[in-house]
Amino acid sequence: MRLMIEGLKRISEYKWEMPVGFKEGMRVPGTVFADEELIEAASRDRALEQVANVAMLPGIVSASMAMPDIHWGYGFPIGGVAAFGRDGVVSPGGVGFDISCGVRLVRSDLREEDVRPGLRDLLAVMAADIPRGLGMGGKIDAPQRLLRKVFTGGARAVIELGYGREGDLEHTEKRGVYEGADPDRVSKRVYERGGNQLGTLGSGNHFVEVQVVEELFLPDVAGAFGLEEGQVTVMIHSGSRGAGHQVCTDYLKVMDRVVNRLGMELPDRQLACAPLDSPEAADYMAALACAANYALANRQALMHWVRRSFERHFSSPEETLGMDLVYDVSHNTARMETHLVDGEPTSLCVHRKGATASFPPGHPELPPAYSKIGQPVIIPGDMGTASYVLVGAETAMRESFGSTCHGAGRTMSRSKARKSIRGRELRERLEAEGILVMAGKDSLLAEEAPEAYKDVSRVVNVCEGAGLSRKVARLRPMAVLKG
Amino acid sequence: MARFKTVEHTADIGIEVEADNLEELFEGAALGMLSIIVDPSSDIGRGIEVEVSLEAGDIEGLLFEWLNELLFIMDARGVLLSVFQVDGINDLHLEATVRGERIRQGEDRLMTEVKAATFHQLVVEKRGTWFARVIFDV
C-alpha cells in the first residue's frame, strides 16, 4: 500500500516534498526527511503546517526542512532546519527558549562488568554530586563578573575555574565558545536568572545517563572517537537554563515590535523575526551567543561533577579511568555558516530547532582530531531503548545545510503519558531490564517513558538512508539520572 | 471566577481559560500555568508579596508579558507563587499583586518546569465571556 498524504509528494524513499502551493504564502517548498511511518506520525499533529509556515519567512533559501524526528513545536516544528541569506531574517522562535540545548558524550576505559556491580551506588554518588530538578540552585556562585566571562568565554570560562581540562575544548563544538557574544546585549534579568543555575541539569527531558556501547556500525570511525564495544560511556543532556529562556523571551518581544514596525505578515506570532542586516538581529545574535556559551559552560561543569562522581566511586583519578570528552553538540541554534547556494559559497544564518549539525570530513569547523573522520553527532534516545553516535556525511551539506536529527522525537503528549503510564511501574520495568532510573518524582518519569517517544533506531536509520549522517555506535542505557 | 483546562500538545502543554472579565481571565491563566508547575495537592504559603506592573502593545502581548513575568519571579527570585490578584487592566496596562513563599532546596511540590509562555496560537478574545489560550514551552 502506498501512503498518500494530501499535498505531499514523495521524492525518494526518505524524502518528501511539500510544494509551494501546500499553504498560501510559502516562498520555498518544504522538505521532510522521513519514511512512511514517520511522515504519517508528522501528519497527525500540526508539524507539517509548521514546516509550511517557516517556508513563508523572508529570505529563506532552498526549502523549509524537517528531520525525521519532526513533531509539533511552537513556531518552528521540532526537527526544523531553515537557512536564510542576506535578505533573510533571524527568528528567536527558530532556536527556541532552551538556547543551545545539547548533548555531550564522555567515554571511559571502564567495561560494563566493572560498573554493573556497584551501579546503584554510582548512581547515588552522581545524584548527590549533580544539582538537578526544579528549584535546585547550582554549586557555582556566579556573580555578574563571572557571568560576563561565561557569556563570552563559554566552556573555557569554567575550565579556568578548574571544571575540566584544557583538552576538553578540542572536543567541543566551536571549541567551546561561540564567537560574537556581547554581554551587554543581554538584559539584567538574564544575569539574575543565570546567577545560581550554572552547572545545573534542570528537569524535563534533561538527564545524565551511564551507558554501554552495545554495537558498532563503523568500527574505524568509532575507534577514532575513542569508542569500543562493551565500554561504558556517560551522556549529558542539558541547556542554557533560565538565562537562555530569558534571552529568548526578551528578544521575542523585540522581534515582535520589528514585525509590527515593518508590517510583516506572519502565519504565527512565535515566528517573530528581524532582517539579518538590522540592529535588532545583530543584538539577538550577540545575546544568542551569550546564552549558547552559558550552555556550553553548563555542560562542562556537569561533566566535571560526573568525573568527580566516578573518581569517588572508583577511587581513581578520572584521567586513569580514561574519561575523555568525545564531543559536545547543540541542537537548538542559529549560526552563520557557509554553504553552497547555486554553486557559490554563501553565508547563511542556519536555524536548527531540534536538529544537529552533521559536518562531513574536511569541514573547517571540525577539530583536528576529527577533521579526517567527520563530526561526531550525539543522538539521545529514550531511557529504555538506546542512544546513538553518528558521524556527519557529505550528502548532508547538499541536502540539509549540514544537518541531521537530534533525538527520537516525542510521539505522545506529556499529560497522555502521565495518564497511561504509571511511573513506579515504569521504573520497576526498566530495572528488570537492567536499567536503573533515579528521578525526582515517579509521576514525572512517566512523561519520559520509552512509549512517549518515536523509535530512535528508525529515526537514525532514515537519516542514514537519506544520507544526512551515518551510524557509528549504539549505546544502551544502564543508569539514568533524570532532571 | 475563571475556569481553566490544560490542552494537549505533542511536546509541550497549553491551557484554555474562560472568565467573565479580563482581570479574572489573567488570574485564571496564572492559576492554569501554576497547575502545570506545582503538584495540585500542594499547600503554598503567601508570606511574600510582589507588586507587578506591566504594559504591552496588545492584549495577547500583555498576557505573554504577565505569564513570563510570573515565571521570572519564580525562577530568578525563588518565590513559589500561589495567589494572583489582578487589580486592574486598563489601556493595556496591568497592575497586580502576587503572593507566595520561598522555594526550598530539594522542593518536592514542583512538578514541571515551564520555560516560557509562547506566542504560538496565543489567543485572548471575547466570546460572550472572555477566552484565552496559551501554549507553554516545557
Among A148-157, A426-435, B100-109, the range scoring the smallest mean pLDDT is B100-109
Residue in B with minimal Cα distance to A257: B57
**Residue A406 appears among annotated catalytic residues:** yes
Residue A136 phi, psi dihedral angles, 5° rounding: -95, 120
- The proportion of chain B whose per-residue pLDDT surpasses 90, expressed as a percent, equals 82
List the single residue in A72, A249, A441 with the smallest CB-CB distance to B11: A72
Cβ–Cβ below 8 Å for A93 and B118? yes
Residue A1 has what pLDDT?
A: 43
Chain A contact present for B95, CB below 8 A? no
Mean pLDDT of A109-131: 97
Contact B10, A49 (CB under 8 A): no
Interface test with A, best of B68, B104, B120 (most A CBs within 10 A): B120
DSSP for B16-33, written as a single string: EEEESSHHHHHHHHHHHH
Q: How far apart are CA B19 and CA B24, in angstroms?
A: 6
Contact B10, B120 (CB under 8 A): no
Q: How far apart are CA A104 and CA A365, in angstroms?
A: 17
B59-102: per-residue pLDDT in tens? 999 999 999 999 999 999 999 999 999 999 999 999 999 999 99
Residue A460 pLDDT more than 80?
yes
Nearest Cα neighbor of A399 from A371, A360, A364 is A360
Domain count, chain B: 1
Q: How far apart are CA B74 and CA A373, in angstroms?
A: 46
Q: Which residues of B touch A73 (CB under 8 A)?
A: 11-12, 120
Structural domain including B18 reads 3-137
Residue A436 phi, psi dihedral angles, 5° rounding: -85, 135
Chain A contact present for B48, CB below 8 A? no
List the single residue in B72, B107, B135 with the smallest CB-CB distance to A74: B135
Interface test with B, best of A78, A101, A130, A134 (most B CBs within 10 A): A134
Q: Helix A241-262 to helix A279-314 angle, to the nearest 10 degrees?
A: 170
> Which residues contact residue A74 at a Cβ distance below 8 angstroms, ignoring those fewer than 6 apart?
A93, A270, B12, B118, B119, B120, B121, B135, B137
Q: How far apart are CA A89 and CA A92, in angstroms?
A: 10
Residue A27 pLDDT more than 90?
yes
Residue A4 has what pLDDT?
A: 63
- 3 state DSSP class of A66: strand
Residue A398 pLDDT more than 70?
yes
B18-62: per-residue pLDDT in tens? 999 999 999 999 999 999 999 888 899 999 999 999 999 999 999
DSSP for A430-455, written as a single string: HHHTT-EEE-S-HHHHGGG-GGGB--
Cβ–Cβ below 8 Å for B113 and A204? yes
Nearest Cα neighbor of B116 from B42, B35, B33 is B33
DSSP for A310-364, written as a single string: HHHHHTS-TTTTT--EEEEEESEEEEEEEEEETTEEEEEEEEEES-EE-PPTT-T
List the single residue in A135, A204, A269 with the smallest CB-CB distance to B103: A135
Residue ranges of alpha helices (H) inside A78-182 are 112-115, 119-129, 144-153, 155-159
Length of chain B equals 138
Cβ–Cβ below 8 Å for A268 and B119? yes
Q: CB atoms < 10 A from the CB of A356, how many?
A: 33
Chain B contact present for A78, CB below 8 A? yes
List the single residue in A74, A192, A202 with the smallest CB-CB distance to B12: A74
Mean per-residue pLDDT over chain A, rounded: 95
Mean pLDDT of A410-436: 90
Residues pairing with A476 in the sheet: A212
Q: How far apart are CA B98 and CA B77, in angstroms?
A: 13
List the single residue in A74, A193, A256 with the smallest CB-CB distance to B137: A74
Chain B contact present for A18, CB below 8 A? no
The shortest C-alpha distance from B72 to chain A (Å) reads: 8
Cβ–Cβ below 8 Å for A256 and B119? yes
Cβ–Cβ below 8 Å for B10 and A72? yes
Residue in A with minimal Cα distance to B115: A245
**Residue B9 belongs to a domain with what CATH number?**
3.55.10.10
Q: How far apart are CA A448 and CA A421, in angstroms?
A: 10
What single DSSP character describes residue B35?
Answer: H
Chain A contact present for B101, CB below 8 A? no
Chain B contact present for A382, CB below 8 A? no
The shortest C-alpha distance from B35 to chain A (Å) reads: 12
Residue B9 has what pLDDT?
A: 82
Q: Which of residues 317-336 of A touch B (CB under 8 A)?
A: none
B99-112: per-residue pLDDT in tens? 999 998 777 888 88
Cell (9 digits) for B64: 505573554
Q: CB atoms < 10 A from the CB of B106, how many?
A: 10
Q: Considering the domain A9-411+453-482, what is its CATH architecture?
A: Alpha-Beta Complex (3.90)
Q: What confidence category does residue A87 fall into, taking pLDDT thresholds of 50, 70 and 90?
A: very high
Q: Which residues of A touch B76 (CB under 8 A)?
A: 189, 192-193, 242
Chain B contact present for A411, CB below 8 A? yes
Residue A219 pLDDT more than 80?
yes
Cell (9 digits) for A110: 571502564
Residue in B with minimal Cα distance to A42: B10
Cβ–Cβ below 8 Å for A252 and B119? yes
Which ipTM did the prediction report?
0.96
Residue A3 has what pLDDT?
A: 59
What are the structural domain ranges in chain A? Answer: 9-411+453-482
Phi/psi zone of residue A342: left (φ > 0), alpha (ψ -120 to 50 degrees), beta? left
Cβ–Cβ below 8 Å for B119 and A98? no
A271-305: per-residue pLDDT in tens? 999 999 999 999 999 999 999 999 999 999 999 99
Q: What confidence category does residue A2 fall into, taking pLDDT thresholds of 50, 70 and 90?
A: low
> Which residues contact residue A278 at a Cβ distance below 8 angstroms, ignoring those fewer than 6 apart?
A258
Cβ–Cβ below 8 Å for B75 and A193? yes
Q: CA quadruple A328, A332, A335, A338: dihedral positive or negative?
A: positive
Q: What is the maximal distance between C-alpha atoms in chain A?
A: 64
Residue A432 pLDDT more than 90?
yes
Question: Within 13 A of A61's CA, how many CA atoms are on the CB side?
Answer: 23
Chain A contact present for B41, CB below 8 A? no
Chain A contact present for B122, CB below 8 A? yes
B107 burial via Cβ count (<10 Å: 0-12, 13-18, 19+): middle
The shortest C-alpha distance from A190 to chain B (Å) reads: 9
Residue A453 phi, psi dihedral angles, 5° rounding: -115, 155
Q: How far is CA A402 from CA A311, A356, A362, A467, A480, in A?
A: 37, 8, 13, 10, 30
Residue in A with minimal Cα distance to B74: A135
Residue B10 has what pLDDT?
A: 79
Mean pLDDT of A359-374: 97
Residue A325 has what pLDDT?
A: 98
Cβ–Cβ below 8 Å for A97 and B121? no
Mean pLDDT of A336-341: 97
pTM above 0.95, yes or no: yes
Q: In chain B, count of helices (H) and strands (E)?
A: 2, 8
Contact A155, A177 (CB under 8 A): yes
